[in-house]
Amino acid sequence: MLTLRKSKPGFGLDLFEGVEAPAPAAGDVTVRVEHAGICGSDVHAYEWTDGYGFMVPYLPITMGHEFAGYVVRAGAGVTMAEGTRVTVMPGVDCGVCANCLRGNQRNCLRRTAIGLSRNGGFARYVTVPAGNCLALPDAVDTELGALTEPLCVGAEAVLTGGVGLGDTVMVMGPGTIGQAAALFARAAGAGKVFVVGKADGPRFDVVRALGFDRILDVAEAPLAELMGGLKADVVIEATGYPPSVIDGLGVLRKGGVLVVAGIHPGPLTLPLTDFVRNRHQLRATHGCDRPTWDKVLTLLSRDPERFRPMITHRLPLERGIEGFELARQRAASKVMLRP
């Protein structure tokens, strides 16, 4: 079968014919992938930016961690019926480390990730633990099901920031994670939601289609100037560009919270005196807990078409490299591949 793989360290990916999904062992299922999204993390691995060296021991590996499809085969002990439509949580816990034994699976010390450290969804079939599969609600098709993972990441950022009723929220970065954060900030009751980007015309169009009109383009003026003195209660950073954190702190009210959700290729120099005097709270979010998946699927099922504008490009897997370049050049929002 055709797969899109990271074969070696360095720039690029390879389309490869010949890798077959293994038969499911006890507790596993084989999923026929219908849709798989290209994530910003995938693009970082494609470019081989700093922070992805952890993948080296697992190469070559089939990428893709945002996907949905149908269970076509189940291993021993699995109660999920064949034919079930599922989305797949990419984080796989070991179940035996100290944190897992304490019930703190999110902080598993030996966690692996489908699509980054074990074979993922840029393939027609993939075998995964059954416990990582969540049945899709009837109203949610597999294309929207493949959006669940980035939606959960955005929702977790909103939860981490403690967004509340009437809050002014600034989302930095108009990509998929930023779009998701804006949507769930609105769902949490935010009074105003600003979305910030830099000459991001195609993604700004998606943000507007999602119902947001407070869009700030820092290609036109500095962020503080664009805000006109208004301060945010919560800033959610989803740019992956370290200086944006400083810009975000510059428009954060005293005692406000800035959540870093982006994956950054380099370090940040923080002006600590201002940070301390303003009592700013800097928090990090990465991935999400199982309860967040359940909440997002519930909200997604209530009005699924509200989320459809996030998907701007649909390509067959054999055009996957083209999809990565579209995402890399910010000419697309979410690129969905069809294995």
**Residue 165 is part of a domain; what is its CATH number?**
3.40.50.720
Same domain for 70 and 157, yes or no, is no
Assigned domain for 301 exists: no
Let me know if residue 46 belongs to a domain.
yes
For residues 224 and 120, membership in a common domain is answered with no
Q: 105 and 188: one domain?
A: no
Say yes or no: 26 and 72 in one domain. Answer: yes
Domain residue limits at 178? 150-284
Average pLDDT taken over every residue of the chain: 96
Give residue 51's pLDDT: 86
- CA-to-CA distance for 323 and 185, rounded, in angstroms? 29
Q: Which two tokens stand for residue 160?
A: 């981490």
Rounded-to-integer distance, Cα 22 and Cα 110, Å: 22
Pair (185, 268) in one structural domain: yes
d(CA 299, CA 166): 20
Tens digits of residue pLDDT in 10-22 = 999 999 998 889 9
Q: Which two tokens stand for residue 14?
A: 């390879």
pLDDT in tens, 260-276: 999 888 899 999 999 99
Q: Which of 238, 338, 245 is nearest to 286 (CA)?
A: 238
User: Which pLDDT does position 289 carry in this prediction?
Assistant: 86
Per-residue confidence at 187, pLDDT binned at 50, 70, 90? very high
| pLDDT tens-place string over residues 197-246 | 999 999 999 999 999 999 999 999 999 999 999 999 999 999 999 999 99
CATH of the domain at 58: 3.90.180.10
Instruction: Locate 305 and state its tokens.
Output: 């078409």
- Residue indicated by tokens 């793989």: 5
Q: Is residue 293 part of a domain?
A: no
Is there a domain that residue 122 lies in?
A: yes
Q: What is the DSSP string of 129-181?
A: EGGGEEEPPTT--HHHHTTHHHHHHHHHHHHHHT--TT-EEEEE--SHHHHHH
Angle at CA of residue 251, ends 246 and 253, nearest 5°: 115
Is the domain of 93 the same as that of 159? Answer: no
Number of domains forming the structure of the chain = 2
Q: Which two tokens stand for residue 306?
A: 């509200």
Residue 300 maps to a domain: no
**Is 291 within the bounds of a domain?**
no
98 and 36 within one domain: yes
297 assigned to some structural domain: no
Q: Which of 104-108, 145-149, 260-264 has the highest mean pLDDT?
A: 145-149
- pLDDT confidence tier of residue 34, bands split at 50, 70 and 90: very high
In a shared domain, residues 136 and 8: yes
Distances (CA, A) of 176 to 12, 125, 181: 22, 25, 9
pLDDT in the model for residue 106: 87
User: What is the pLDDT confidence band of residue 144, given thresholds at 50, 70 and 90?
Assistant: very high
Judge whether 171 and 182 are in contact, CB under 8 Å.
Answer: yes
Residues 311 and 265 in one domain: no
Do 155 and 141 lie in one domain? The reply is no
Q: What is the DSSP string of 262-310?
A: S--SS-----HHHHHHTT-EEEE--S--HHHHHHHHHHHHHSGGGTGGG
Span between the terminal Cα atoms of the chain, in Å? 10
- Please tell me the pTM assigned to this model: 0.95
Per-residue model confidence (pLDDT) at position 180: 98
Residue 302 inside a domain? The answer is: no
Residues 72 and 33 occupy one common structural domain? yes
Per the structure block, which two tokens stand in for 333? 């929002």
**Where do we find the tokens 């303003």?**
278
Q: Using the 3D structure, point to which of 284, 299, 320 is the last residue of a domain.
A: 284
- Give the position of tokens 């289609």: 209
Q: Are residues 182 and 260 in the same domain?
A: yes
What is the rounded average pLDDT of the residues 18-44?
Answer: 95
